[in-house]
């Protein structure tokens, strides 16, 4: 099974370079679909010169938000799912950094306001939710912190680094709330990765 996946993704990586378009489908991630008004067909996007390196090897993962828009031409419709949540786009990253700075200054309310803005931009990024959890820990609201950690974990998908940070964060929060069993359980999940 694993081998098959590796072979397939290698082949796919090779072919998308040639073919380009990729349909929605299992594991395809969420695709941005413009409404297709007047300006879409008449003014196709000009070729880009500044595609970041990582996109070259990860084109098959459609979950990054600022990707090139595909024409809508899947051959079949099938229920879709993603292997992992979204990366933080630059705009959201700016807000998260701003929030970090405010957290360091002890302004958890200000940090939360910025993180909520980031969350609106990148609602499927587990990182934003983990940051929200941190801000709520700083604001001494451990209940909300635990919930945001769980939400972040639900979006971590197969990103092990993200999963591990999430489970460790959850363990800390649960321990702080006096839920030792829950904390141990979360810790076990982290170390199982």
Partner 1 sequence: MSKKTPPRKKKTESSPRRKRSGLWRLLFRAAALCLVLLAGWMVYLDAVVTSRFEGRRFEVPSRVYARPLELYDGAGISAAALVRELELAGYRSGDGRRPGTWQRNGDRFVISTRGFSFPDGKEPRRRLSLAVRGDRVDSFSVMEGDSSPIVRLEPAQIGGIYPSHREDRILVKLDEVPDSMIAGLMAVEDRQFYEHFGIAPLSIARAMVANVKAGRIVQGGSTLTQQLVKNFFLTREQTLLRKGNEALMSVLLELHYDKDDILETYLNEVYLGQAGTRSIHGVGLASQFFFGESLKDIDVHQIALLIGMVKGPSYYNPRRHPERARARRNLVLDEMAEAGVISGQEAREASARPLGLSAKPSYTDNRYPAYIDLVRRHLARDYREEDLQSEGLRIFTTLNPEVQQAAEKAATDTLPRLASGDVAEALEAAVVVTAKDTGEVLALVGGKDPRFAGFNRAVDARRPIGSLVKPFIYLTALSQPERYTLISPVQDKAFTLEFDDGRRWQPQNYDGKERGLVPLHEALSRSYNLPAVRVGLDVGIPEVQETLRAFGVTTPISDYPSMLLGSISLSPVDVAQLYQGLATSGFNTPLRTIREVTDAANEPLSRYSLKVDQVADPAAVHLVQYVMQETMQEGTGRSAYYRLPDSLTLAGKTGTTDDGRDSWFAGFSGDLLAVAWVGRDDNGPTALTGASGALPVWSATMAQIPQHGFSPVMPDGVQYHWVNPGEQALTGENCDNARLIPFIAGSEPEQHTGCNGSLGRQIRGWFEGLFQ
In the window 128-187, what residues touch partner 1 (CB under 8 A)?
129, 132, 144, 147-148, 150-151, 153-158, 163
Nearer residue to partner 1 within complex by CB, 152 or 172 = 152
Q: How far is CA 103 from CA 58, 112, 134, 150, 188, in A?
A: 33, 9, 9, 21, 29
Burial class (CB in 10 A: 0-12, 13-18, 19+), 139: middle
Element (H, E) at 12: helix 2-19
CA distance 35 to 58: 26
Give the count of residues interacting with partner 1 (CB under 8 A): 76
Site string for partner 1, 39-58 (x = CB under 8 A): xx--x-x-------------
Tell which positions 78-117 bind partner 1, by CB under 8 A: 78-85, 89-92, 94-95, 109-110, 112-114, 116-117
Rank residues 61 and 172 by Cβ distance to partner 1 and give the closer one. Answer: 61
Scanning 26-34, 51-59, 174-182 for contacts with partner 1 by CB under 8 A, the matching segment is 26-34
Under DSSP, is residue 144 helix (H, G, I), strand (E, B) or coil?
A: helix
Q: How far is the CB of 109 from partner 1 (least distance, A)?
A: 7
Q: Which member of 73, 140, 161, 178 binds partner 1 (CB under 8 A)?
A: 73
Alpha-carbon span 126 to 157, nearest angstrom: 9
């Amino acid at each position: 099974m694993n081998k098959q996946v590796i072979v397939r993704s290698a082949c796919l990586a090779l072919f998308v370079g040639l073919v380009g378009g990729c349909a929605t489908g299992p594991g395809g991630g969420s695709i941005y679909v413009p409404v297709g008004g007047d300006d879409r067909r008449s003014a196709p996007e000009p070729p880009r010169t500044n595609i970041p390196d990582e996109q070259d090897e990860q084109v098959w993962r459609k979950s990054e938000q600022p990707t090139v828009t595909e024409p809508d031409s899947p051959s079949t419709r099938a229920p879709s799912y993603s292997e992992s949540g979204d990366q933080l786009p630059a705009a959201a990253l700016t807000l998260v950094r701003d929030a970090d700075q405010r957290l360091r200054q002890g302004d958890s309310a200000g940090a939360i306001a910025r993180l909520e803005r980031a969350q609106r931009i990148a609602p499927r990024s587990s990182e934003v939710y983990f940051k929200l959890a941190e801000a709520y820990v700083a604001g001494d609201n451990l209940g909300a912190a635990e919930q945001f950690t769980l939400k972040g974990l639900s979006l971590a998908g197969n990103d092990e680094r993200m999963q591990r940070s999430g489970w460790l964060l959850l363990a800390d929060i649960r321990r702080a709330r006096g839920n030792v069993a829950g904390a141990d359980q979360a810790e076990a999940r982290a170390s199982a990765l």
